[in-house]
Copies of this chain bind each other. A is one copy, B any other.
Amino acid sequence: MSARNPKRRSEAASPKRPVVNRASAGKGGVREARSAERRDAILAAALEEFAANGFAGTRLDDIAQRAKIAKGTIYLYFADKETLFQELLRAMFAPIVRALEHIPKSDMPTRDILERMIGLFVQEVLGTRRKDVIRLIIAEGPRFPKLAEFHYREVLSRVMAAMSALMARAIARGEVKNQAYAKFPQLLAAPGLVAVIWSGLFERFAPLDVAAMMRAHLDIVFGERKTP
């Protein structure tokens, strides 16, 4: 949306041109290859710009320049700025949710499972631009109800449900004492959120040893255990 009541001309526009037109998925793809390349370049550039400037503060001209294409090209791949924004955020999280859900359901000790999840989180979220994406969702969510809903439905509710189930099992097994973690998986995840926000805003004033904090958190959850 251009700030106010835009959607100036294009009705419910959707990019009609490239997008690997027709079914010919398999062969011949000089065009298709380029098409996918372009799309990725646009998304990558958009990520940088949106992460740095927020939705309203980002100019499509800058995205185009960074992706080394003309502005018009963006509109061949995405209907408008808002669509680009939302598709970007969606695309960023699909892999993570899949990865999180695929972490062995095995009967590995729960603490080990959580340590893996934290490792994944530190590496794939804190260590990448995904942490900025989380900040973007927090920042822009209220202005894009669809976005908040999508992320609740596709990411949060699933992650929370998985955590809740994991903790319920841990409690049943006697690995964890406090029942609250099954009822409020938010308590389990909270330090992760703090890490994201701290690293985005205050790192340079007071660096936070995220790994140590997470370890301390697990010690609390599982009742001490000084791993020297």
Contacts and interface: CB of A to CB of B under 8 A. Distances in A.
Given A184-B216, A213-B187, A220-B187, A205 B140 contact: no
B148 A202 contact: yes
Question: A interface, how many residues as a size bin?
Answer: 35 or more
A216 B183 contact: yes
What number of copies of this chain does the assembly contain? 2
Interface string A67-82: 0000000000000000
A14 interface: no
A180 interface: yes
A87 interface: no
A3 interface: yes
A202 B156 contact: yes
A64 interface: no
A12 interface: no
Interface string A19-54: 000000000000000000000000000000000111
A124 interface: no
A57 interface: yes
A107 interface: no
B217 A57 contact: no
Interface of A: 3, 52-57, 59, 135, 137-143, 148-149, 152-153, 156-157, 177-178, 180, 183-184, 186-187, 189-191, 193-194, 197-198, 200-202, 205-206, 208, 212-213, 216-217, 219-220, 224
